[in-house]
Amino acid sequence: MNRPIIVAAISVLAAGSALAQNSVTIYGRLNLSAEQQKNVNVVGTQSVLQNSASRIGFKGTEDLGGGLKAGFQLESGFSPDTGAAAASFFGRQSEINLSGSFGMIRLGNFTSEAYFATADYISMHNHDTGTSEDKLYAYVGRNTNKIAYRTPELVKGLTVEAAVSAGEGVRDGGVMRTRSYDVAANWNLGALQLGAGYEKNGNAKQFAVRALYEMGPMVFGAYFQDDTNAYAAGSRKTWRLSGAYNVGASEFHLNYGAADDYSKLANSDATQWTVGYNYNLSKRTKVYAFYSTVDNSSALSYFGATNTQGRAQDPKIMAVGVRHNF
């Protein structure tokens, strides 16, 4: 009897059994734009091929029986314009989770759900990436060393997630790192979708609420945020409005955001607005164009270069790009 053939056959059957129980997906995004940037990284104008959060990822699940599933997700950023990988290879996401009728328990490195439930949710034109991303929202959470719990659907459309990030005895700037907390809620009521998020990291904290409403081809979104010690000393309030009109393969986008002065830092307010157009070549590929600008005050720069006197300059960006999901 040919023993190698028998061993090979058993191996194939075992592999087939494993594949039947497991599901692994490779996914990603390439997002590049040719941009004319003024006062972004340097004072003056320059032409740039801009990477906007391109990534490759792997995710999968294993059915453990009895409604229990094990899952994982690994995601790495890279720059398609140079081919260079991010310095932290799976820095975008690296988590393992268990899920069932009780909800989901997550462990690892992943983005705050408080951010996804508010600022990211209404950032429609380029998924809050690149030079036109929301520069005013205060993200104070920490992504690493996290444990999170996501509830099952509590009432129709409502889920809640809470997470804590351990300090692990690490010092930041000579100060012992404290635990970081974030909590998020999402409530999908059909055309109306509501959300809220809270984060606390040391003496910095933020709370935000969000609403998005779909009315035929038009979509309207807004959030309001109150933060303390995120970018500067004291507290401030930030808000953003976004809108989209979708007709055929075309998307027309407009958003405007404003941040007040910090209570302990005069002339620290800012505004940002973006107008954009996307054309969907397919469900996975689109071409786009946008113009975006941030108006900084003299005491604080949210985005852009500073001159030799330390004065914040106001960046202005014109871009055309291509985004492909796979």
- For the segment 29-62, what is each residue's pLDDT rounded down to a tens digit? 999 999 999 999 899 999 999 999 999 999 999 9
Confidence of residue 3 (pLDDT cuts 50, 70, 90): very low
Least confident of 13-22, 55-64, 75-84: 13-22
Mean of the per-residue pLDDT values for the chain? 92
List, for residues 315-326, the tens digit of each pLDDT value: 999 999 999 999
Query: What tokens does 51 get?
Result: 């990477």
Angle, CA of 218, 223 and 226, to the nearest 5° = 170
Across the range 255-259, mean pLDDT stands at 98
Higher pLDDT, 139 or 311: 139
Domain spans in the chain, listed from the N-terminal domain onward:
30-66+111-138+155-160+181-325
What are the two backbone dihedrals, phi and then psi, of residue 10, each rounded to the nearest 5 degrees? -60, -40
Taking CA atoms, 227 is separated from 40, 203, 258, in Å, by 25, 11, 13
Of 195, 198, 263, nearest in space to 231 by CA: 263
Q: What CATH code would you report for 30-66+111-138+155-160+181-325?
A: 2.40.160
Q: Report the percentage of the chain scoring pLDDT > 90.
A: 84
Residue 19: the pLDDT is 46
198 bridge partner residues: 183, 207
Decide: residue 61, CB within 10 A, 0-12 exposed, 13-18 middle, 19+ buried. middle
Q: What mean pLDDT is predicted for residues 170-184?
A: 87
The model carries a pTM of 0.90
| β-pairing verdict for 235-247 and 103-109 | unpaired
pLDDT at 248 over 60: yes
Query: CA–CA separation, 19 vs 3, rounded Å?
Result: 24
For residue 307, pLDDT over 80 is answered with no
Chain centroid, CA 73 distance in Å: 15
Distance between CA atoms of residues 253 and 193, nearest Å: 19
